[in-house]
Amino acid sequence: MRRWTTLLSFVAVALGGCHSNSRVSPVQGIEVYGLVESPVDHPALEAAVRNANLILGPSSATSFAAGWRQVPNTSAIKVFAADPKGLGETEVMSSYHQCNCVIAQVGRMSAWLSQQTGTGQGLLSVDNQSLMTYMLLHEMGHIAHGDEVESETPSTNTGQAMKFNLDPTLQKEHEIAADQYAANAINAAIKDKGSNRGIAAAQIAVTLAQLSWNLAEHRLLDNFGGTAVHAPSLFFDAGLSHPNLEWRILSVNAAISDAPTAQKLLSDFENLRQVQPTVLYQAKPH
């Protein structure tokens, strides 16, 4: 919220200083929001922007554009590559409806992934660029639905009793709707078999399947025993803003895959998400 207040004040300053008679408006970068552009991340982010636009297709009402370039299409959603300065470690991507922009911290992607899946030997290699493309499609969902500032960092700043929960909240509904938007876009593109669009969509489907494998591996091995006792930290939502990541990825997988396995993995996980009426192992009081 603090950053958004800063962002709003910068937008107000920018609007106040606007000159209508200038022939060529300069590229307005994220420095006006108090952030620092990270040119080293431009090639990877630009490739993700290209693939996201490919998947959205030519009939899409909106598209993405690299924010650090002069954007000819003024209705395009600008995407910026931000340096860690001024952003939290886990703030990989956030969208701002009011400025039609998405801010990505590309350099933190690997660290974010390690945080979600650990670093075990059995992990599959997940393509960061495809994952970033998926995240852009998810952000487009937030923007298309008119969600206000959407940081992808779960807000866990709640009391301990509320920390792991299954409570429905408006923010969680926004996240589910944005995931559904991305799944619909991938579904439509994947039918365009043999084209670059279809291939880009299929790559994301593979990446999400690999990510769900890694999340399950992390849950089963790094948190050994937690699945058997239905540990809330593994199956519930951490905080009130974002649903459980593994459940989200399994849900999107099930939405874009006809394979019975994808549906089975989701229903198995949802069964484990249920609050259990019986306690299997309990220490007897002395």
Q: Which stretch binds Zn ion (CB under 5 A): 11-19, 36-44, 69-77, 150-158?
A: 150-158
Number of residues in contact with Zn ion under rule CB under 5 A: 3
Nearer to Zn ion, 153 or 165 (CB): 153
Q: x/- binding map, residues 162-201, to Zn ion, per CB under 5 A?
A: -------------x--x-----------------------
Nearer to Zn ion, 92 or 123 (CB): 92
Residue 60 CB coordination number (10 Å):
15
Nearer to Zn ion, 41 or 175 (CB): 175
Q: How far is the CB of 142 from Zn ion (least distance, A)?
A: 6
Nearer to Zn ion, 79 or 123 (CB): 79
Dist CA 260 CA 137 (whole Å): 25
Longest Cα–Cα distance of the chain, Å, equals 83
CB 167 within 8 Å of CB 239: no
Dist CA 254 CA 239 (whole Å): 24
Q: How far is the CB of 103 from Zn ion (least distance, A)?
A: 13
Dist CA 171 CA 105 (whole Å): 22
* Collapsed DSSP state (helix, strand, coil) of residue 176: helix
Nearer to Zn ion, 112 or 197 (CB): 112
Interacting residues of 223 by C-beta distance below 8 A, sequence separation 6+: 231, 233, 234
Q: x/- binding map, residues 110-149, to Zn ion, per CB under 5 A?
A: ----------------------------------------
CB 200 within 8 Å of CB 48: no
Q: Which residues bind Zn ion (CB under 5 A)?
A: 150, 175, 178
